[in-house]
Amino acid sequence: MLLIVVAYRFATSPLLLVDGKPNILILAVSATAAFHQAVGVSYAAVVLARVYISAEQGSKEFSGAAA
């Protein structure tokens, strides 16, 4: 649904300012995309950290430091 609205609005103007007025729909889509990007990067960082820690639990260095 969102893609249909965006495609329709891009047919008119993809700019943030149109005739001196803010294009609220494009601004909202841009903010939503930035939010989803931030969530995706944060999620990937957490997953990579968990994989790293689970790999370190099997090593001698990690078990020696925990003891």
Query: What was the pLDDT predicted at 4?
Result: 62
Q: What is residue 57's predicted lDDT score, i.e. its pLDDT?
A: 77
- Please tell me the predicted confidence (pLDDT) of residue 67: 44
CB-CB contact of 2 with 35 (8 Å) = no
Per-residue pLDDT of the chain (67 residues; tens, 9 = 90+): 566 666 666 666 667 777 778 777 778 888 888 999 999 999 999 999 988 888 887 666 554 544 4
Q: Report the number of distinct structural domains present in the chain.
A: 1
Euclidean distance between CA atoms 57 and 3, whole angstroms: 44
| Per-residue confidence (pLDDT) for residue 41, from 0 to 100 | 94
Neighbours of 23 (CB within 10 A): 18
Range of the domain at 21: 2-66
Across 41-61, b (16+ Cβ under 10 Å) vs e yields eeeeeeeeeeeeeeeeeeeee
